[in-house]
Amino acid sequence: MQQSYSNEEALVLTSGGQDSTTCLFWAVKNFKAVHAVSFFYGQKHAAEIEAAGAICDKLKIDLKTLDISFLKDLVRSNLFQGTPDVNAAHALSPEVPSSFVPYRNLLFLTLAAAWAGTIGVRHLVTGVCETDYSGYADCRDVFIKSAQATLNLAVDFHDTKPQGVVIHTPLMWLSKAEEFRLAQELGCLDFIINETLTCYNGDGTRHEWGKGCADCPACRLRAKGFLEFKQKYE
Ligand SMILES: [Zn+2]
């Protein structure tokens, strides 16, 4: 981060997973105070919501959980309905995994910006990443920059000049291995391995790289990234 924000506060979008938890630690290091927001949207597994709550409790970060479970009635994703096969293609496109939730990140960022404005915070932090993920259009840097511009236009009053929302994406260009290295630099590697849950199946089985079923795409990515991290950086 080029500018210092050590006198300002941040709101981190959190899910109890590796990415958002690494972002929480990153925000704690870079901002004066950190708040968190998580989303309940009818995921098959309540485990990730519970993980987000437990993680924020441990870090003494206040967490606001927003219920947006209406989303499952509006869009298609195998997080909500249909095939349990996480490797299947999405109904929208053969290029996109069935786990994709259309418009999710735009909704998340809009709601997070709304809450941030209410509590007087202008910095949002999200763990989206363009490097390792294929097909998730709303994880791309160009989408985040566009969302930031749109959110600021939405409250662009001519008679006042509020400081605009800034969306930080510390993981945007990192591989999974580099993300583990960032966790090591932030002093939270053990916490990330032991406390976070990324598995699509909500499986809590423990491995060297963390908890999960070891078979879904998220677990495979995490296990592969951890192995690469150990080989390159340890
Ligand atoms: Zn898994």
The pLDDT of residue 59: 96
CA of 199 to the centre of ligand 1 (A): 4
Q: Are 123 and 8 in contact (CB under 8 A)?
A: yes
Nearest-angstrom CA–CA distance, 196 and 210: 7
Distance from Cα 62 to the centre of ligand 1, integer Å: 28
* Span 3-35, pLDDT tens digits: 678 899 999 999 999 999 999 999 999 999 999
- Average pLDDT of the chain to the nearest whole number: 89
pLDDT tens by residue, 141-175: 999 999 999 999 998 876 665 578 999 999 999 99
Taking the whole predicted model, whether its pTM rises above 0.85 is answered as yes
- DSSP secondary structure, 185-231, as one string: HTT-HHHHHHH-B--TT----EETTEES-S-SHHHHHHHHHHHHHHH
Residues 6+ apart with CB under 8 A from 96: 89, 90, 135, 136, 137
Instruction: Calculate how far, in angstroms, residue 167's C-alpha sits from the geometric centre of ligand 1.
Output: 29
CA of 184 to the centre of ligand 1 (A): 23
- Say how many Å lie between the CA of residue 197 and the centre of ligand 1: 9
Task: Kindly report which listed range (19-23, 82-86, 119-123) carries the lowest average pLDDT score.
Answer: 82-86
CA of 100 to the centre of ligand 1 (A): 16
Q: What is the pLDDT of residue 72?
A: 86
- Average pLDDT (58-86) is 84
Decide if pLDDT at 187 tops 60: yes
